[in-house]
Every structure is written in structure tokens, then in C-alpha cells.
Amino acid sequence: MLGWIGRGLRKGRITTRYPRREEPAPVAYRGTVDVLDATDTPAELAALCPTGAIMIDEQRRLTLDRGRCILCGECVRAAPERLRFNSRYQTAARPRSALVVADQVDPAGGEPTHAALGDLARGLRRSIHVRHIDCGSDGSEEWEIQALWNPYYDIQRLGFFLTAAPRHADVLLVTGGVTAPMRGPLERTWQVMPEPKALVAVGTDACSGGLSAGGGLVAGGVDAILPVDVYVPGSPPAPIAIMHGLLLAVGLIRGVEVAA
Amino acid sequence: MTSLSQGPIELPDYLPAHLGAVREPGPPGELRLRVTLLSFERAARMLRDAGARFVTVFLADTPEPALVGAFALRGELIMLRAPSGSVDPVVYGSIGAWWPAARWPEQELVERHGVRPVGEPSERRLTEPDADLLDRGVQGLDVFALPYGPVRSGVFEAIQFQIETGGEDVPRIQTRPFFKHRGMERRFVGLVPDHAVYVAERVAGIASVAYATAFSQAVERALGVPPPPSAERWRAVYAELERLACHLDVIAKEAETTALYVGQARFQILKEQVTRLRAGLTGSRFGRGVVVPGGVRFEGAMNLDELSGTLGALERDLVRDRRLFLGTPSMTDRLIGAGRLERGLVEDYGAVGPLARGSGLSTDARHERPYGDYRRLGLQVITHREGDAMARVNVRFGELFESLRILRQSIDHLRRGDGQLQSELPPGATGAAFGWAEAPQGELVVWVEIRDGLVHRVHIASPSLRNWALFDHAFPKDVLTDFAFIEHSFGLTPAGADR
């Protein structure tokens, strides 16, 4: 046992400073896709996208739905002058329309969802209880949520605790595009959570169904069933992105600003 | 205990005639035998007697509609193909009736495709689970049935276990998968292989590289386009990093279950380091978007010296953490003897991966049917005979070091690489083949049919589904509080099982 103590202490501090300071991502990290130039888009570009995240209107203006994007990079490779990967971690946003972007200002972030929950969070000195439910993810989102409680991210320092009982939960993290057998359990879980409460859709599948949509076996996003407060797109989103979504959901930060 | 087993053994020439089958041409490592629906069961029975391991049974559509069974025998993947012609529904003698490994795949065929295996034992509905259904099988005053899941405490994927217990002993446990069935095999249909690989990566997200590799290899074998050697080396690097992450995750979860918090933190740190390494190399924390049919899309975006330096530091940490883990009696006491699976049972169920290797079977797709760079890399198959949770954890510890050794070797090879990363796929081609890879959870086999350059049909035999059928038998002498230890020692993913 003593060995473990020495082992634990020797490592020193490795926890991220986020949200006080930005957490740098590896240069090559594919966090999100930015639109550089939305004008005069060739129609073929929309057909390249496996999830239909790229839309082109009659004026040939391009819009990108980050809630559908799986970050495969087909479009970036085909038209690097129009679209580019951004290594930024903070990709959470609300409302859903904020995920649909053109070449204007970066709309990630948005106003805090639940003023009431934010007040409550401050009143409770940030004791927020989080519950997770899997409604048909590919399994990677669960790993990234679990990672929030590892020493690198340690979300407990911000006052987020994992709870086993939905009746004790303030925030529900939902992964997956909602399969038929999970619809009932999802609705029941949400129903028994006390007010005020917030729902965060984690991952592209939870935002829109992603690649699993289209076969009629998944609802195509959590918002087809319950109102979603914050969307965290990504396939899967990194732990910092999920943390960003949680902080947005309870109103502890606004937008992508870095401050606690 | 480790064993360095011999290479693949040639199958005797008389085998097709012995099975009453006609041999058909197929890609290397794949023995294709045509039988009839009537002789299908008999041929399968003979294969079992010859020591074959059941892999899967499904309906194929190329070159014609047929019932297909896949079996692993001595370094070959044997495909029994019984054309069904106009027979609808497909009727044949049940394999699941006498071969436990075939029960779930056959049940899936019955429920999803209306296939009629004759003599098949009636089973509960498997593919459309009901969270509220209680199906009690044990009578007794103080025995209660506990539906555990699909919403469980902690952050877990959705699956349900119906546990029947009097509080301590667990006389009966029923695993209920398919809460997460997304119909992923259908999502492949109609896509070009380059796009379809994105679907493969998302069948089981924690084994994205293995799924992408197995799918890509199936496409390459179907179209006869081998990937360049450098691409195979990068695939091995990404695959072994994925194995490191998955095995470290299992060990961290075992430590968490005993409330060995520093140990948990240590293994989580190592896992996160591997994950960040993968993000640095591929731009994705799960190694996605790199492995594609024909090769890999790009080289790792990292200096090879930096990569081997990071891995060296990781190995030094791992040596110390393993010593502490195995020297903590409060940890090992919970694992020793827990969830013991006898070798015979594991064979009957055709289990694969660390689960099978923990019960003394030396099955590993990288060794049995070497693919890609594993044909050039020597592999030591780690096995332990005890069959308990401790053995499964020990197999993973051994494989962590074996993966690090393979990584060192691959990185050395890459320094001398010629740099070509992708072979061109012929446009509009047609073909069908199996592809396989050893995922961290066990052997993954994928059947892919390509027609006119588009994916026509895909069948996935996932290690998670094949191993999970054994969970019902994993509590021979164990009590309810052993549940989490045993579950984590299986190390499976519902997403892969449910597809």
C-alpha cells in the first residue's frame, strides 16, 4: 500500500487548468471543421459528405452542420481552400442551430442554458450531480466521459460528481442516437430527475444520429425525443469538449471563453 | 505462462471430399467449400469433430444467395457455403442445437431473417430486448430476480443482466444484449469502400482500428489488391496502441472496483497517455480516419524517435505499476478464483481473445491466420490456464508488454520503409471475401461483398457477442459482489456485440 502512495505522489500535478486556461490540443487533432469560404461552392462537395452535413443552397452558398459532421475529412481533402480542420477542443454549443455554420463568426458556445440551474450551481457551491445514459453509442463516448474523472481532467475539482441515481441528478449526459429499446428507459430517467435539470447530448450520434441514422433503427438524435440543452458534437468529442458542454449547461461559462 | 506455438498447419487434401463438399477458389487463408442445405449440418458436425472453432453463420448474397458458416481450423478460415436457390425460408439442420457457440448467431438469423433451423431449441427473444421483462428460471422462497441495466450506475454502455440470487450465490444469470442494435451492417450497403470504412470504425468505437482493418482487409482480399508494406506497418502500430488503451482500461476498472484508487489513477494515466499519443499520431483519440481500404491515409504525424521515446517511458512506468498491482493482496484476492471458466466450456462457446487465452486456449488471429505486418512480426501468444478473472488480467498484462515489443519492432521497420501508403482499388470491381483482425476483445471476422464498386453486403462476427454468451456461465462458485470484477475481466463492448 505504501508503494502506491509513493507512486501517486511522484507523478506531481498533471491535471489540466481548463477552464481557467485553454488546454492545447495536438496540432493534427481533428476537433471541428471550419468554413473558410462559403461562396460559389461546387455541388459535388455536398455529395462527398457521408452524413449529409454539407448543404449548398441556390446561391451556391455552403453551410456545414457540425451536429452531423463525423470529422472524416472527405470535404477538407477535396476542398482545402474552403474547409479546414481546427484542433480546438471546445465544440459544445446551444441551441441546435448554432451548430450549423457558414463562413461568419464562430458561433460555438452561446448563452447559458438554464439560468435556474446556474443559480442553483452557484448556490450549492457548484455541487452538480451528473448521470449518464447510453442510448446506442459506439462505446467511445463512454470512454471520454469516464476520462473526465481521471487525474488529467479531474472534473470533480469543478464540483461535478457522478451519481448512480437519476433522482439525485442535475445533468443528464446522453450518448447515442436513441435505439427503440432505449427510448423508454431514456424517457423514464429524464422524468424522475428533479427540476431544475439539463440534458447534454454527447457525440455526433446523440446530436443527429450520425452514421447510425437512416436505417430507421435509431431516432436520429436525442432531440427527436427530449429537449436538449447543450450539444457536444464530435465523433467522439474529447473530454475537454464534454467538460465545455457541462459548464455551458449549468451556466458556469458562456461561449468559448476561458474563465471559471 | 506463455507459449510459443507453431505456425499454421496445412489442412489435408481429402477434407472437402470427406465433408461431401466441392472446393471453390478463394483468397489465401480462406477455404471455400460448397455444400447443400441438406448436408450443411453434417459438414459442420464433422468440422467440430476435427477440432474447428465456430465463428459465425449468416446469409450471403454473392455469387448467389446462400447460407454460409465460417469455422476456424488450423490456420484456415473454412467457409461452408450452401446455396439456397429459391428456397424461402431457408431450412437446414440446426447447428446451435448441439454447438453452444452457434446458438446466438443462429437465433439472430431466425429472428431477423426468418431462417428455419430444424431442431433448434426454442430460445427467448434475443434481438428485441424488453427492459421490463422478468423471466424467472429459479424457484425458491428467498431467490429474487434483479434486472440490472440497461441504465446502470456509473458510465457504462447499455446492456442488461437478469440476475437471480438469494443475496449471495448467483444460481442463474441471463445476459441480454441488443439494446443498442443500430443496424450498422445495413449502413454499409451502397457506400463506396472508402466511405464504408467510416461505418466500420463506428461499429465498436473502442476498437475502431481493428474494425477498420478487418473491413479494409476484406475489401482488399475481395478485390485482390494487397496494401503496401508500409501501410501494413502503420496499421500494426495503430492496432497495438489500441490494444494498449483497451487493456489498460480493463485493468483500471478492476482497480476501481476494489477501490484501489491510486492504482486506478495510475492505469488511467497510462491509458490517457496512450490516447494522447494516438491523437498526436492520427488526429483522433481513437485512431479514426487513417486505415482505409488499400492502405492507410497518412503516416503518423509524429517523429519516430519521439514515439519510441514516449513508449519507452510508458513501459518503465508500466513495469512498476504492474509490480504494485500484483503485489497488492486486497486487489488480487478479489480476482483469484473469480468467474472461473473451464477450458471445455470456453471451447464449446468458441470464445476468443484474452477471455479464451485466460482459459488456456492459444487462439489469436494475429498468430492463427497472420495478416498484414503480423506475417513478418513474431508474436508470442500469452496464455494462462487458470480460467479466472486473475488469469484474464494476467493475459492482458502480458499482452501489454508484447504489444510494446511489437511496437518497437514496427517502428524499427518503419525507419526503413519505402513510404508508399496506399494501393489503388480498381473502380467498379466485384468480389467477396472475409477479412479478420485481432481486436483487443478478440478475433473479429468481417464478410464483405462488393458489387460494381459499391458495398453490397456486410456481416460482422464480433468478439464481444461471441464471448458474451459465456457470461451466463461465469458464476459457478461466485457471489453477487464478484459481478463487477468478472464483468470487467471479460472486457467486452455492447456496441460491438449489438452492431
Question: Cα dist. B91→A32, B69, B103, B117, B286 in Å?
Answer: 50, 14, 16, 6, 42
Among A1, A137, A150, select the one facing B495 at the smallest CB separation. A137
Of the given ranges (A19-23, B243-247, B278-282, B355-359), which has the lowest mean pLDDT? A19-23
Which of A120-134, B237-251, B281-295, B301-315 has the lowest average pLDDT? A120-134
Give Cβ neighbours of residue A9 (< 8 Å, ≥ 6 apart).
Answer: none
Contact A142 B157 (CB under 8 A): yes
Q: B205-221 pLDDT, tens per residue?
A: 999 999 999 999 999 99
Rounded to the nearest 10°, the torsion over CA B190, B193, B196, B197 is: 170
> Mean pLDDT throughout B124-153?
82
pLDDT for the residue numbered B133? 80
Contact list in B for residue A138 (CB cut-off 8 A) is 202-205, 495
Q: DSSP letter string over chain A?
A: -HHHHHHHHHT------TTTSPPPPPTT---EEEES--SS--THHHHH-TT--EEE-TT--EEEETTT-----HHHHH-TTTEEEE--S---BSSGGGGEE-SSS---B-S-S-HHHHHHHHHTTS-EEEEEEESS--SHHHHHHHHTTSTTT-GGGGTEEE-S-GGG-SEEEEESS-BHHHHHHHHHHHHHSPSS-EEEEESHHHHH-GGGTTSSSB-SSGGGTS--SEEE-SSSPPHHHHHHHHHHHTTSS-TT----
Low-confidence ranges of chain A (pLDDT < 50): 107, 109-113, 258-260
Name the pLDDT band for B309 (thresholds 50, 70, 90): very high
Q: Name the pTM for this structure.
A: 0.92
Q: Which residues of A touch B153 (CB under 8 A)?
A: 164-165
CB atoms within 10 A of CB B329: 10
Cell numbers given for B159: 446492456
* Range in B27-41, B48-62, B115-129 the model is least confident about: B115-129
Distance (Å, whole) CA B175 – CA A39: 54
Q: Does A24 touch chain B (CB under 8 A)?
A: no
Instruction: Pick A5's closest partner by Cβ from B206, B262, B328.
Output: B262
Nearest in space to B13 (alpha carbons), one of B82, B76, B95, B81:
B76
CA dist B217 and B380 (Å) reads 23
Residues of B in contact with A11 (CB under 8 A): 266, 269
Of the two residues B180 and B419, the one the predictor is more confident about is: B180
| Kind of pairing between the strands at B454-461 and B116-118 | unpaired
Interface residue A177 vs chain B (CB under 8 A): yes
Size of interface A-B (CB pairs under 8 A): 180
For the residues B160-164, what does the mean pLDDT come to? Answer: 89
The B442-451 sheet, strands edge to edge: B431-439, B442-451, B454-461
| pLDDT attached to residue B242 | 95
Beta bridge partners of B437: B444
Are the CB atoms for B150 and B158 separated by under 8 Å? yes
Model confidence pLDDT, tens digit, residues B430-450: 999 999 999 999 999 999 999
> In angstroms, what CA-CA distances link B304 with B300, B311, B378, B411, B418?
9, 11, 21, 7, 15
Please report residues of A whose CB lies closer than 8 A to that of B187.
Answer: 211-212, 214-215
Q: What is the pLDDT of residue A255?
A: 57
pLDDT at A259: 45
- Using a CB-CB cut-off of 8 Å, the residues of chain A touching B150 are 134, 181-182, 185
Instruction: Tell me the average pLDDT across B384-412.
Output: 93
So what's the pLDDT on residue A254?
Answer: 62
Strand-pairing partners, residue B459, are: B447
- B292: pLDDT strictly greater than 70: yes
ipTM score over 0.85, yes or no: yes
DSSP assignment, residue B227? P
**Mean local confidence (pLDDT), B266-291:** 93
SS3 at position B457: strand
B462 reaches A (C-beta below 8 A): no
Asked if A189 lies within 8 A of B151 by C-beta distance, the reply is: yes
- CA distances to B89, B101, B105, B437, B451 from B79, rounded to whole Å, are 21, 16, 15, 17, 20
pLDDT of residue B358: 94
Distance CA B429, CA B238 (A): 28
Q: Which chain A residues contact residue B186 at CB under 8 A?
A: 215
Contacts of A7 in chain B (CB under 8 A): 262, 266, 320-321, 324
HSE-up of residue B457 (Cα within 13 Å, Cβ side): 16
Q: Which of residues 123-182 of B touch A (CB under 8 A)?
A: 128-132, 150-151, 153-158, 178-182
> Out of A30, A134, A138, whose CB is closest to B284?
A30
The pLDDT value given to residue B8: 46
* Chain A interface, best mutation among B185, B247, B257, B285, by max A CB count within 10 A: B285
- Residue A37 phi, psi dihedral angles, 5° rounding: -140, 115
B268 touches chain A (CB under 8 A): yes
- Stretch (H or E) spanning B314: helix B304-326
Chain A residues inside the 8 Å CB shell of B320: 7
**Cα separation values, B322 from A251, B61, B317, Å:** 42, 49, 9
H or E, element range at B494:
helix B494-498
Shortest alpha-carbon distance between residue A235 and chain B (Å) = 9
Sorted by sequence, the CB contacts under 8 Å of residue A101 that are 6+ apart come out as A34, A35, A63, A64, A66, A107
Our CA-based measurement puts residue B69 at a distance from the nearest CA of chain A, in whole angstroms, of 26
SS (H, E, C) B355-400: HHHCCCCCCCHHHHCCCHHHHCCCCCEECCCCCCHHHHHHHHHHHH
Does the beta carbon of A192 lie under 8 angstroms from any beta carbon of chain B? no
Is A185–B288 a contact, with Cβ atoms under 8 angstroms apart?
no
Show residues of chain B in contact with A14, CB under 8 Å. 269
- Chain B residues with beta carbon closer than 8 angstroms to that of A181: 128-131, 150, 178-179, 181
Q: Which tops the pLDDT comparison, A196 or B2?
A: A196
- pLDDT value at position B91? 86
B interface test, pick of A211, A222, A240 with most B CB neighbours within 10 Å: A211
Name the DSSP class of B479.
B
- Which residue from B178, B269, B288 is facing A151, i.e. has the nearest CB? B269
The predicted structure's pLDDT at residue B439: 95
Summary mean pLDDT of chain B: 89
Q: Which three cell numbers stand for residue A237?
A: 468529442
The verdict on a CB contact (< 8 Å) between B191 and A26 is: no
B265 at A interface, C-beta within 8 A: yes
Chain B residues with beta carbon closer than 8 angstroms to that of A147 = 268, 272, 275
Note the pLDDT tens digit of each residue in A12-52.
788 888 887 888 888 889 988 988 888 888 888 888 899 98
Predicted local distance difference test score (pLDDT) of residue B4:
42
Mean pLDDT of the B294-303 span: 87
Digit-coded pLDDT (tens) for B55-103: 999 999 988 899 999 999 888 899 999 998 888 888 888 998 899 999 9
Model confidence at B40: pLDDT above 80: yes
Asked if B269 and A150 come within 8 Å (Cβ–Cβ), the reply is yes
Beta bridge partners of B237: none
Cell of A142: 463512454
Chain A residues 231-250 within an 8 A CB cutoff of chain B: 235-236, 238
Distance CA B291, CA B300 (A): 11
